[in-house]
Amino acid sequence: MKSVIKRIGLRYLLNLGVNNQLDLQTSVRVQLSNLIAILGIVSNIQYSILFTIAGAPNVMTMNVIHFFVICTLSYILYLNQKEKYSLARIILVFTISVPLLFVSFISFGKSGGFYYYFLVFALAPFVLFSYEEKFWILIVFLSNNLFYVWFEFFGKPGEFIKGTLLFDSFIQELFRINSVLSSLFFVALIMFYFLRNTNRIQKEMIRTNAHKDKIFSILAHDLKGPIGTMNSFLGYLTENIPEKDELVVALKELKKSTNQSFLVLENLLDWARNESKKIPIHMEILSLISIVQNAKDILDLQATDKKIRWEIIVPDHIKVFCDERMISTVIRNLFSNAIKFSYPNGTVSIKGIHLGKYAELTISDLGIGMSKDQIKQIENGNPFPTTFGTQGEKGTGLGLLVCKEMLKNQGCTMNVTSSPNLGTKITIQIPNSF
């Protein structure tokens, strides 16, 4: 019952057709077109009832027109849901004027002030269309203003049958007052909604600029170091003929710098894609031990350099339902962090268990740990300043943030328990079925 109420709720209707693939400005325009369509449906139902009660001229014809407009506005909501946004907006801006034309020509004339709505609808395309669609803005703006001018200066009052409510000039005046107040209300409502979303766009721009600065900072510092190290070693190797032991040391350093650059770049790209909502998700059933083993193999050299021991207890039969690339990135990040913040000769423990509908994977270390403020930053989804590892290893401050967002996108959860100098335990729960 609750889901049914949610589906027919106003918020659901306003967000028909809105998805994560749309940019914020397009999302706002879709929401505004839904809002105008909903208001149009309500208004046409309201006036159909009022015209019948008041005995308006040609009331049956008007009711047919109202029914047609209500069906068309409902179809516009359907078009938005099917992501045919441009067609929905074009039909909308012309449909909303149809009942006004008929009520002003064959029913009320100038009486009742219904032609005031043309001024409201002349403004609608400015909030519904982008600048690139200025042709439609101009057409709709000019046509609605021409209709208003025509009825204001050349229109005639309506002719009402004696004995009906509309024959009373006081009732006609009430309709006119209602038209003025309704027009002002619709303008205020649409502009308020537009300003509210403009504020959202401004905040999004500020956030985007902050992310851009973060990306440039990472490119300038966190990738420059490892790539500079690789360049130095390659220069040394091309200019000299090292002994075997020196060559092995140099190749190990190159491998370590390559791994570090790869992890930093992968985190950066995944974070950027996640922020732009453009990460495709391909869910499938996978073996948890295989994912864990692959991540370990990539980071073995990093662990060996610090003499870190692996303690892996993950049963072979545990399966998980997730995106392989995403979950591999997450586990690789968590392993890398555990190694980075562990003291030399330490142990990284990985344990997996089957827990109902979930598989639970716990990564523990006895390293430097995290402060409460850092854990709070992770929970709030905020990047935090780079923290150096026990041997000066540097990260991006994005690793756990990327993990948290990727896990959330797959229906997984992450819990972080840590204290300074006592180590960190991170537990993730991954669905093991559809």
Give per-residue pLDDT as tens, 239-248.
777 777 777 7
Q: What is the dihedral of CA 112, 116, 121, 124, to 10 degrees?
A: -130
Q: Is the pLDDT at 89 greater than 90, yes or no? A: yes
Using left for φ > 0, alpha for ψ between -120 and 50, and beta otherwise, residue 299 falls in alpha
Return contacts of 128-136, CB within 8 angstroms, 24+ apart: 128/29, 128/32, 128/33, 128/36, 128/89, 128/92, 128/93, 129/29, 129/89, 130/25, 130/29, 133/86, 136/89, 136/90, 136/93
Of residues 104 and 263, more confidence is placed in 104
- 122, 150 in Cβ contact below 8 A? no
- Residues found in the chain: 434
244-295 tens-digit pLDDT: 777 777 777 777 777 767 766 776 676 666 665 556 678 899 999 999 998 8
What are the tokens at 324? 């392989």
The region of weakest confidence among 62-66, 75-79, 166-170, 415-419 is: 166-170
For residue 427, pLDDT beyond 90: yes
d(CA 121, CA 366): 66
Residue 270's identity, in one-letter code, is: D
Q: Is pLDDT above 50 for 104?
A: yes
Centroid of chain to Cα 240 = 54
Spell out the domains of the chain, with CATH numbers in brackets.
1-167 (no CATH), 282-433 (3.30.565.10)
Residue for token pair 């300043």: 385
Select from 133, 217, 209, 197 the least CA-distant residue to 394.
217
CA distances from 70 to 50, 87, 192, 280 (A): 16, 17, 25, 37
